[in-house]
Structure 1
Amino acid sequence: MSDLSKLQKQQYTNWLKRKRKSNGELYSENTVNSYASSLSTAPARLSGIEPVNTNVYEITSADYFHGIRQRMEKAENFEEINVKAGNRAFQYALEYYEDFLREQEQGADMAAAGDSFNSVLADKTSALAVTNGLPSVLLDKNIILYGPPGTGKTYNTVTYAVAIIENKPLHIILDEVKISGYDVILKRYRSYKDKGQIEFTTFHQSYGYEEFIEGIKPKIQQGDETGQISDEIAFEIKPGVFKQFCEKAQTPVIPDSNSYGIRKEPVIWKVSLGGSGENEVKRDCFDNNRIRIGWDSYGERITDETDFREYGGATILSRFMSEMVIGDIVLILHDEKTIDAIGVVTGEYEWLDEMEDYKRSRKVKWLAKDTREDIYALNGNKVMTLGSVYRLNRITLADVLVMMKANNNVLGTAIKENANNYVFIIDEINRGNISKILGELITLIEPTKRIGQREEIRLRLPYSQEEFGVPNNVYLLATMNTADRAIARLDTALRRRFHFSEMMPRPEVLGNVSVDNEVIELSTMLAVMNRRIEVLYDREHMIGHAYFMPIRSKSTVHDLAYIFSNTIIPLLQEYFYEDYDKIRLVLGDNNKPEDEQFILARKTNMAELFGNMNGFDFDDEVSYELNDRAFAQIEAYRKIYKRSSL
């Protein structure tokens, strides 16, 4: 029993000593000890239920324990165990332990060893209490699930991701899987993915920094900021998948309805009101809650027949009249580096016939005006041009929030900092060139170097020259196939920054299966094969239990044959580089009659094959061939394990 479990048991014992019966009397010493000890011994003797965590004192969540307790009470021999405990001590111990956990969660004074319990609990939380071989509390920002193929690494990224996003201990999600099924968790996973809180990518040999962080890509330049039409090829800096994900995790949360009228994902526009600096058009807009631009000579409506060849402006007018929508944010140009107002678009395009010029208008709600905010650095060290209207793609809603805070305007409930958790999943992380892909990110992903932490670091990216950091609410969850590349060969810098959680084959989840009404001990068969592989090769190349999960409690020999012929044997051929003698040892063919051997070994008579070899002296060679007949025989599978013992 761990130190944490011992302290938890002591706490429960002390709690029982203070508990009073319905008549007001304290429980006797014998009764207290009986209750406390029954929780240590009785759960392991229960039968007829799915496996549960039998070390009750490892459980510190009342809700999780409630589910465990219900399963225990449904055990086929529960009454028998309860009677043997004396005076139904086991039943009462379970009931009282749940009460104890709820009081503990509510912060009740636990007296006696309470202070020592809390201090040890704080010290132990990073040790990750284990349920079913998986950590129950996810405190690490960067996690790699590693193990041989077929051990459920990618499968378990779903449960890990949901646990992280919902801020729940992993064992709670795992217990929900047992009770309600994996599909319930998968549905929530897909919902979070649709919302953008989960991103999934796979590393490979061609994957690089440009795809992950940022790169330079070609594009057709359809129009410049002055509105002139152009079809030239230009190059633009495109953010990679992880940079976009981090920006999304930093994006402030906007409620569906807010007093400022900001929409969910507003576009940030730069707008020039009558040019730069102070002018009459700008003052009118500030005083009357609107923005105005010109190009009046084209008239109120723009049609397909409108001729822009002489004065241009087609792109600008399209942006102002059509692309800009209610709820977008406008930043008003003061000079090439600063803005002097921030507003939210609240109205559709309208024509102000009463104005002498700058007749095109939209209503806005000013969040700040007559200010001076330098956005040069936020804009990627690019100056703003005199083009009347264009998107500020480098400026984010988070940047606007920072500017508003600088002006003592936090927008009340309209914009909130994003406190949601985000999970970026990297499948097969060791198949890519880690140093090439991550670049400077290898430093930024450290928990203490995240944005908002005491050692926060932001680095200037090489292409965009933007400052970039990793938000504290972003979790990295990766998988690594140890058969693909040994863990020792991973970059030392990467290993230091990740928590590694090993996932090995779990034959016990397979149990026995009925194949054509014959029993095959599937769990024993896999365990024996893996023990042989460990001796002949290493533990990193064991066969995962997931390969056999499609075989249900009742299957045919053809189902088993399909898995062996299309998955298991090709995998062994890859592992042993066609050293068929070792493959035969793994499959137990050396202990079977010939018609039950999956791989037949036949000696080749060289003299018979070649005739007169003119002095060449060859030993007889051995050739190997798959025995199709063996795949259809139940005994061929049974004899993989029945002559062996672990």
Structure 2
Amino acid sequence: MARYSNCPQSYEVFSEFMDRCLLKDQSLIWSDNNAWTLENLRKIKTNFIDNSIDGGEFWSKLFKQFSELNDDCWRVLADAFFIYTLPSTYMKPEKKYEYISKVTEKRNLELPDFDNYRWDALNEGFSRTAVQYHQKYKQLWLLIRFAISVKEQQNRELFLNDHLAVRDKLFDLVKNTNSTDRSYGMLNAILHLGYPEKYERALNLGHKHKIVDYYSNKIDKDFNKEMNIDQKIKIIRETLEKDYQEKEFDFYFPQIKEQWLNNSGNGSNGNGETEEDPFLDELVKTLRNKKQIILYGPPGTGKTYYAQKLAKTIIAQDNFEKDYVQLDEKEKKTLNLELSDNRNINYLRFCTFHPAYGYEEFMEGYRPALSEDGQAVFELQDGIFKKICNDARDNPEQTYVLIIDEINRGDIPRIFGELITLLEADKRWSENNESEAITLTLPASQENFAVPKNVNIIATMNTADKSIALLDIALRRRFGFRELLPKPELLENQTIAEINLAELLNHLNNKITEKIDKNLQIGHSYFMKKEKAIKKEEQLISRMKDEILPLLQEYCFDDFNTLAEILGSNLVNLEQGRFNKEVFSFAGKEVILTSLKSMLNGENDNG
């Protein structure tokens, strides 16, 4: 089934659209108004589609085309923008709401506030929409024409229940356009949102052709000449799902997409199309909803990697409507951690908590400085979080992110102080809710302070650190939490000296979980370099000697009996209470490789 688990409310909204707007003529947002009548849609077609205006800014042209139409036509337009924004994970919810409110403000139509549950679906989406999709006109063009074609059916319900008839009609509407036309984005969005069991979430028609081209040689015997491309993809999906071990199969899972897209390995296929990551999309959704998130898990599971990737993704999407790899050099500099943190164009900041880190470094406090005459003095200085909040308040349309690495290593109540009250999303400041935001007086500067809505916090937490148990309950409630666990599947295709890295990682972690603690597992990144599995024997030996063996020794508190139960007896000298001296000698390479093979084969198993 092609339904994407990340956007259940998007499907619900589109189902409402089909029922209310297409079948019953009602408005999606204002259900008491019969706005989607054939008469109103034809008026919109005449003014908006048949009398297009060449050149000029989109919104100015749009409002001019609608200027003589009635309020219900404007309601149709607002509803259409609601539907238009549903597929996109690139547009932040505030931007989606802004499109709708631009229409309603122009006509003084009452609109539910952004915090209303009605707009929860705006925080979802199923596609990293490209610049083409953001140009709006052709998507609205197709949506209006499709609605007219539904209204002209003798039996609307019978027509909408026939997904093949709907598909034929949509393709008939775009038959005179090029296959790269922007309208195909809306065409594929309608098919997927309306019939997610039948149609993939690919908005790009070229992607669908690439999927069929890649897999057709494996299953072309199941195709027939009358099948359309979507029917072929459905057969491909059903075939692949049988062999796929994950609960959910998706053509945009990184390891799957890399196959059919012939990915170059650097996050882009060379044509500006980015590598999708459903887990990253989930993180973006959580961060936009909660405004702060903690990524936690054992060491080596990619917490800091994902923190930086998430930060760059949400800033690029919110501030530039692109993916990070699509930014130009000037845009990328706004995410450069080496820039001075007092520059308000630096959207990304970074700090690491530790036992000596305090409120003074984070918010404000008196710190040593030199006076103009060179004397040592204490002066009141702003901390990193106060600085980023001030910059964000001066630039409310831009998204800012602070990464806090190792958040649980600091004295969190002392560092955050009164911020615990201000962090919750519904207590934050924005231009639209200034009277509702919670403001506190800072103890040192006596300034009134509120946390802006456009500041996000991404924190990392290592579960191998026992201080996680002491994490402040108030902080737990205010942050979204996402666990990152070892991913042996990233290593399953790599074998070194007859040692499969995925099997090795699984074996070690099974033993660690059994003998020590599941929170002390070893992450996949110990066997990776630059997002790829290591390939050389020397790399494997180095990772074992320099990182994994010392880590396991620490985990076991120098209990070499437990170490032997995990690693086998070949690497451990129980009598002397240490690793065998050959391990770290010149001959250590062969000793380690032989021991790892024996361990995976169940030989010398002390457990």
- Pairwise TM-score range, normalised by the shorter structure: 0.5 to 0.7
Q: Report the equivalent of 1:601.
A: 574
- TM-score, normalised to structure 2's length? 0.54
Once residues 216 and 561 of structure 2 are traced to their aligned partners in structure 1, the CA distance between those partners, rounded to angstroms, is 50
SS at match of 2:543: helix
Q: Which of 538, 541, 551 is the matching residue for 1:558?
A: 538
Q: Given residue 165 of structure 1, which amino acid in structure 2 is its aligned partner?
A: I
Q: How many residues align?
A: 379
Question: Which of 524, 534, 550 is the equivalent residue of 1:570?
Answer: 550
1:15-414 paired onto structure 2 within 5 Å = 15-20=163-168, 59=201, 62=203, 69=208, 72-75=211-214, 77-87=215-225, 89=227, 91-93=229-231, 130-131=278-279, 135=283, 137=285, 138-139=287-288, 140-167=290-317, 190-191=335-336, 194=339, 195-222=345-372, 234-252=377-395
Q: Deviations over 1:512-563 (max 9, x none)?
A: 4353xx3321011101211111111222111011111039677443321111
In structure 2, C-alpha distance between the alignment counterparts of 1:555 and 1:438, rounded to whole Å: 44
- Check the 8 A contact 2:353/2:407 in 1, yes or no: yes
Alignment of 1:471 with 2:455, yes or no, is: no
Q: 1:466 to 1:440 in 2, by over 3 A?
A: same
Distance 1:243 1:571, change over 3 A: same
**Which residue, out of 519, 524, 530, partners 2:503?**
524
Change (3 A) 1:190 1:642: farther
Whole-angstrom distance in 2 between the partners of 1:485 and 1:190:
32
* Offset, 1:15: 4.5
The residue type equivalent to 2:217 in the other structure is E
Q: How far apart are residue 209 of structure 1 and its match?
A: 0.4
Instruction: Determine the structure 2 residue equivalent to 1:365.
Output: none
Match of 2:408 among 423, 426, 430: 430
State the shift of 1:23 in Å: 11
User: What is the rounded CA distance, in whole Å, between the counterparts of 1:481 and 1:553 in structure 2?
Assistant: 22
Report the alpha carbon displacement of residue 184 of structure 1 after superposing the two structures with TM: 10
Q: Which residue of 2 aligns with 1:273?
A: none
Q: Specify the code of the residue in structure 2 equivalent to 1:438.
A: F
CA RMSD of aligned residues (A): 4.2
Q: What SS does the corresponding residue of 1:560 show, helix, strand or coil? A: helix
1:445 maps to 2:423:
yes
| AA at the equivalent of 2:562 | K
Matched, 1:632 2:590: yes
- C-alpha spacing 1:586/1:184, structure 2 compared with 1 (3 Å): farther
Unaligned segments of structure 2, at least 5 residues: 19-159, 174-190, 235-276, 340-344
C-alpha distance in 2, partners of 1:478/1:74?
42
State the 1:632 CA deviation: 2.2
CA distance in 1, matches of 2:457, 2:409: 16
Q: 1:239 to 1:543 in 2, by over 3 A?
A: same
CA distance in 2, matches of 1:16, 1:193: 54
Which amino acid letter does the alignment assign opposite residue 450 of structure 1? R
The 8 Å contact of residues 444 and 457 in structure 1, kept in 2 or not, is answered as yes
Structure 1 217/4 Cα, relative in aligned 2: closer, same or farther at 3 Å? closer
Q: CA deviation at 1:576?
A: 1.1
- Structure 1 residue 130 displacement after superposition: 4.5
TM-score for the superposition, normalised by structure 1: 0.51
Deviation at 1:625, TM superposition (A): 3.4
Deviation at 1:484, TM superposition (A): 1.3
Residues 197, 423 of structure 1: 8 Å contact kept: yes
AA in 2 matched with 1:251: D
- Paired residue type of 2:498: V
The aligned counterpart of 1:643 is 602
Contact 1:150 1:545 in 2 (8 A): yes
Query: Structure 1, residues 481-532: CA drift from partner, whole Å, max 9, x if none?
Result: 11013544210000000000111111111124353xx332101110121111
Structure 1 residues 221 and 436 mapped into 2: Cα distance closer, same or farther (>3 Å)?
A: same
Q: Please give the alpha-carbon distance, in whole angstroms, between the structure 1 residues aligned to 2:304 and 2:11.
A: 35
Q: Distance in 1 between matches of 2:302 and 2:456?
A: 20
Task: Check conservation: 2:429, 2:453, Cα contact below 8 A.
Answer: yes
More contact order relative to length (CA 8 Å, sep ≥ 6): 1
Question: Please, which runs of 5 or more residues in structure 1 have no aligned partner?
Answer: 26-34, 43-55, 97-128, 223-229, 253-417, 591-596, 605-621
SS of residue paired to 1:165: helix
Contact 2:283 2:310 (8 Å CA) reproduced: no
Change over 3 Å in CA distance of 1:583–1:88 after alignment to 2: farther
CA displacement at 1:476 relative to structure 2: 0.5
Shift of the 92–483 alpha-carbon distance from structure 1 to 2, 3 Å rule, reads: same
SS of the counterpart of 1:211?
Answer: helix
Distance 1:422 1:458, change over 3 A: same
* Distance apart, 1:598 and its partner CA: 1.8
> Secondary structure at 2:317's aligned position in 1?
coil
The alignment partner of 2:380 has SS state of strand
Aligned with 1:501: secondary structure? Answer: strand
Alignment partner of 2:512 out of 533, 537, 557: 533
- SS, match of residue 478 in structure 1: strand
Q: Which amino acid is 2:384 matched to?
A: V
Q: Residues 584 and 630 (structure 1 numbering): CA distance in 2 closer, same or farther, change over 3 Å?
A: farther
C-alpha displacement of 1:14: 5.1
Q: Pick the aligned partner of 1:494 from 475, 494, 502.
A: 475
CA-CA distance at 1:157 after TM superposition: 1.7
Give the Cα separation in 2 of the matches to 1:158 and 1:541. 23
Question: What is the CA–CA distance in structure 1 between the aligned matches of 2:331 and 2:562, rounded to whole Å?
Answer: 40
CA pair 167-545 structure 1, distance change in 2 beyond 3 A: same
What is the distance in 1 between the residues matched to 2:479 and 2:445?
28
Higher relative strand content: 1
Closer, same or farther in 2 for the Cα pair 1:554/1:203, shift >3 Å? closer
The AA in structure 2 aligned to 1:428 is E
Secondary structure, counterpart of 2:446 in structure 1 = coil
Secondary structure of the equivalent of 1:504? coil
Larger helix fraction of residues? 2
Give the secondary structure class of the aligned counterpart of 2:482: strand
Does the 8 A contact of 1:451 with 1:469 survive in 2?
A: yes
Contact 1:162 1:189 (8 Å CA) reproduced? no
1:95-124 C-alpha deviation (Å, 9 max, x unpaired) = 99xxxxxxxxxxxxxxxxxxxxxxxxxxxx
